[in-house]
Amino acid sequence: MTLSLSLPQQGLRRYTSALSPLAWAAVLVVAVVVAVSVFAPALAPYDPDYVDLNNVLAGPGAQHLLGTDALGRDLLSRLMVGGRTSLLGPTLVVLGSTLLGLLLGLAAGWSDGWAGKVLGRAFDILFAFPALLVSMLAVALFGKGLVAPIIAMTIAYVPYVARLTQGLVVSERARPYVQAYRVLGFRTPWVVLGRVLPNLIPTVGAQSALNFGYVLADLAALSFIGLGVQPPTSDWGAMIEESRGALLGGYVLPAFWPALVVVVVVVAVNVIGEEISDRIGGKLS
Amino acid sequence: MSQLLNVQDFTLGFAGRDPLLNGISLHVDDGEAVALVGESGSGKSLTTRATLGLLPERSQHSGTVAVRGLNTLTARSAELLGLRRNKASMIFQDPRAGINPVRTVGDFLTETLVRWRGLSRAEALERAVEQLEQVGLRRASELVHQHPHQLSGGMLQRVMIAAALLDSPELLLCDEPTTALDVTTQAGIVKLLRDEQQARGMGMLFITHDLNLASSLCERVYVLRNGRVVEHGSAREVFLAPQEEYTRQLVGATPSIELDRVPAVPVAVEGEEPILSVDSLSKHYELPHGDTLTALDQATFTLPVGGSLGVVGESGSGKSTLARLVVGLETPSEGTLRLGVVDRPDRPLKARERKLLAKDVQIVFQDPYLSLDPRIAVGHAVADVFRLHQKQGRRQAQDSARELLGRVGIGPERFDAKPRALSGGQRQRVALAKALAARPRLLVLDEATSALDVSVQAQVLELVEELRDQLGLTILFVTHDLAVVSRLCSQVLVMHQGRIVEQGPTARILADPGDDYTRNLIGSRPRPLWDRDVITTP
């Protein structure tokens, strides 16, 4: 027999390569950004709001690693502290929309009659409104700041989760194991919340991870057009907005750094979301 | 001319794991039909695919697989292409998976003729029509303009056979081509394959898990297990006088109709209400465009306490609808269904009613891979039922679950195992335990052993018999397999297109069927080649 047996290195590599290098990098990026944002007050070299008019629009150097903005504020410190509002918003939106979406999707998927149809149509109508437009409406109604856009975004992102959940529930409830629970006489709420819901979490979680990236970009855009976080609070979107004047004057860096961070984080979160969804069998398109 | 198919010491596997195929040697001569019999995972499909040069990616192999002297393991892709176009054809299990659903049957059949054999479109279509007629399809000239979804599974498998024969192959490889088909359809396909193989003098390698089927079609048999040839020889010898222990088990486990083994009809106790009585029960489904589908049409029967009733029929006969009505997963459209002393309402059951019903009737489904919750450890799944129905605390329920699982042959070491860590047979045992934990009086088995290998099926059936006797269960066994019914059920009910065509004691109906359809069903069971002349059709 010429079949060579037992090459343990290959077997080992199968497990360590379980996560692709790209996914590893994405996880690392997100972990670092989150950690830095959380500990920003301790880590930041300068007070992010300290104005130093003698040192405006400085290039990167030993004193200011990434340079300063038009008011002489340290860009690195503002980026680090800005991460807190920039990440907090999407986190709240994703948590809120996932929770609401799961509940509504479960209800819509489980009810055969008109309730399911009505909910399904309601999701479709919500889909028709772009998240940014809803947020601008909310700002017009409730005023500028972080609260109104977060509520609006949460509502705007509910249908993404709810539609997915509804579809999953409809296919799951037709499965023999769910029917076996019914024949065994278990009560519907117990089956739905205790048994079916946990089986949906991985798929819905993947969708929510993807949503996180979109929300981050949307909220940054809101801050950029001046409807989100208000000065002088540091926020990545707001930082880009504040740098518009400098940008026209030929100073690219104050806008470039926050833009770069937004892009990197959005891409990293998307990579993680895709990885999760690949792993659970590509149920998301 | 060199031998048609010659496999010598063929070994195949992945680095670092046990080989999947281990030193397989077999051969097929011209004009010979050879069966490759084995249970799932025995390596029969891998062997056949290697014949066409289809090997799993990154696999390692040794030995030779030669078709007319061409070693497919080392052949260049151009040589393999020539082999696949001119010498060997293959027919697969699922005909629908192998045909493009948006193109017509004619497009499918003529493509190779036009592109490789240089026929004009008209000539190719003419040949396709001829070939379709030859495989027994009527109105072939209309059929070529139809799409796959307009054909039944049996018709489509004939189309696939026609496609394979169009290339005039010397070697025909059949990978379980009738497993997805009904028994009566299977009988037609098997006859067609046998006739074509004989008429053309083709060599045929027929893969199957079913020894009966192999013996009805092939002169020689190879029995595979875990990637090794366990036994080979003439079908008759292997089937009637198996040498190896494994083959003996396999032959013993293969279901056959033995009239003297049919369980006796229990003597009815005077004045005792039947556990299940069904009167003119119908189920209609509303289809789009205002049509109605009658899945069950005016069914009437009773099932006495302690009885065992087999419900036999092919796909679409309404047998599963009947089972689902009995366990309350469907609501009756008309008629009455009386379980014990309770009449079933014609509306969906309320939670309280479902829980009460659960103590009367339970069901085990067909697919052991889907009927258990993938996330819940099997012991806890059973314990949950004890907590719900027997009002037991967590501890006590776990002890009860452990005991019941032990009784169905699942040891305590598997208590915390997730379903995916269990084999198909073990999962079906767990499903059985889950159903029994509610202590039902009536147990419905909906094709509960159909997805299992024959040896596993035999064990599960034995377990069901044992539990029935110990617990005094009444059994409603829904199946397509008459042999399984003859072993387990004292009474049988034959269904066809939603109607009950015949019912009565199993022994009488199998020996002397009164209905044409029942006769057809019994006559369609594969019969060994050597028995053809002896037994006349009943």
Domain match, B453 and B354 both: yes
Q: Is residue B39 part of a domain?
A: yes
* Model pLDDT, residue B438: 94
Contacts of residue B327 in chain A, CB cutoff 8 Å? 183
State how far residue B79 is from chain A, nearest Cα, in angstroms. 25
Select the residue of A3, A183, A198 nearest B362 (Cβ to Cβ): A183
| Number of neighbouring beta carbons within 10 Å of residue A236 | 28
Residue at which a domain ends, from B253, B279, B304 = B253
- According to the model, what pLDDT value does residue A5 have? 34
Tokens of B37: 């019999």
Q: Which residue among B191, B221, B253 closes a domain?
A: B253
Residue whose tokens read 């195992």: B417
Same domain, residue pair B215 and B290: no
Q: What is the pLDDT of residue B533?
A: 52
Task: Determine the residue among A1, A2, A3, A197 to mutate to test chain B binding: the one whose Cβ has the most chain B Cβ atoms within 10 Å.
Answer: A3
Question: Is B489 found in the same domain as B452?
Answer: yes
Residue B199 in any domain: the answer is: yes
Question: Is position B58 within any domain?
Answer: yes
Q: Domain ends where: B229, B253, B277?
A: B253
Would you state the pLDDT for residue A282? 42
Nearest C-alpha of chain B: how many angstroms from A198? 8
Low-confidence ranges of chain B (pLDDT < 50): 534-538
Number of structural domains chain B divides into: 2
Range of the domain at B469: 259-360+440-531
Confidence of residue A57 (pLDDT cuts 50, 70, 90): confident
In this structure, is residue B412 part of a structural domain? no
What pLDDT was estimated at residue A18?
64
Closest-CA residue of A relative to B444 is A183
CB contact under 8 A, B329 and A3: no
Which of chain A's residues have a Cβ under 8 Å away from the Cβ of B328? Answer: 182-183
Same-domain status, B236 and B270: no
Do B179 and B267 reside in the same domain of the chain? no
Long-range contacts from A6-13, C-beta under 8 angstroms, 24+ separation: A6/B15, A6/B16, A7/B15, A7/B16, A8/B16, A10/B15, A10/B16, A11/B16
Amino acid A278: pLDDT: 72
Instruction: Check residue B532 and give its pLDDT.
Output: 65
Q: Which domains does chain A have, with CATH numbers?
A: 67-279 (1.10.3720.10)
Whether residue A259 has pLDDT greater than 80: yes
DSSP line for B421-458? GS-HHHHHHHHHHHHHTT--SEEEEESTTTTS-HHHHH
In a domain, B234, yes or no: yes
pLDDT in tens, A167-219: 999 889 888 999 999 999 999 899 999 999 988 888 898 888 888 888 988 88
- What's the whole-number mean pLDDT along residues A53-61? 83
Cβ A11–B362 below 8 Å, yes or no?
Answer: no
Contact assignment for B373 to A8 by CB distance below 8 Å: no
CB of B351 within 8 Å of any CB in chain A?
A: yes
Q: Contact A7/B371, CB-based, under 8 Å?
A: no
Q: Inspect the interface and report whether the beta carbons of B370 and A177 lie closer than 8 Å.
A: yes
Summarised one tens digit per residue, pLDDT across range B61-92 is: 999 999 999 999 999 999 999 898 889 999 98
Question: How confident is the prediction for chain A on average, in pLDDT?
Answer: 83
Answer yes or no: do B201 and B228 share one domain.
yes
B205 and B80 inside one domain: yes
Selecting from A6, A176, A182 the residue whose C-beta is nearest the C-beta of B367 gives: A176
Judge whether B456 lies within some domain: yes
Distance between B17 CA and the closest CA of chain A, angstroms: 7
Partner-chain residue, chosen from A1, A180, A188, that has the shortest CB–CB distance to B351: A188
Diameter over CA atoms, chain A: 81
**pLDDT of A7 higher than 60:** no
B321 and B196 within one domain: no
Considering CB atoms only, which of A6, A176, A195 is closest to B16?
A: A6
pLDDT at B361: 96
Residues B341 and B486 in one domain: yes
Q: Same domain, yes or no, for B224 and B276? A: no
ipTM above 0.95, yes or no: no
What DSSP designation does A55 have?
Answer: G
Is B325 in the same domain as B202? no
CATH number reported for the structural domain that contains residue B317 in this entry? 3.40.50.300
Residue B318 covered by a domain: yes
Whether B374 and A186 lie within 8 Å, measured CB to CB: no
Same domain, B84 and B184: yes
Task: List residues in chain A touching B: CB distance below 8 A.
Answer: 1-8, 10-11, 175-177, 179-188, 195, 198-199
Task: Please list every residue in chain B whose beta carbon sits closer than 8 Å to the beta carbon of residue A177.
Answer: 370-374
Residue B12, strand partner residues: B21, B61
Is cis: bond before A198, omega within 30 of 0?
Answer: no
Q: Write down the pLDDT at residue B1.
A: 60
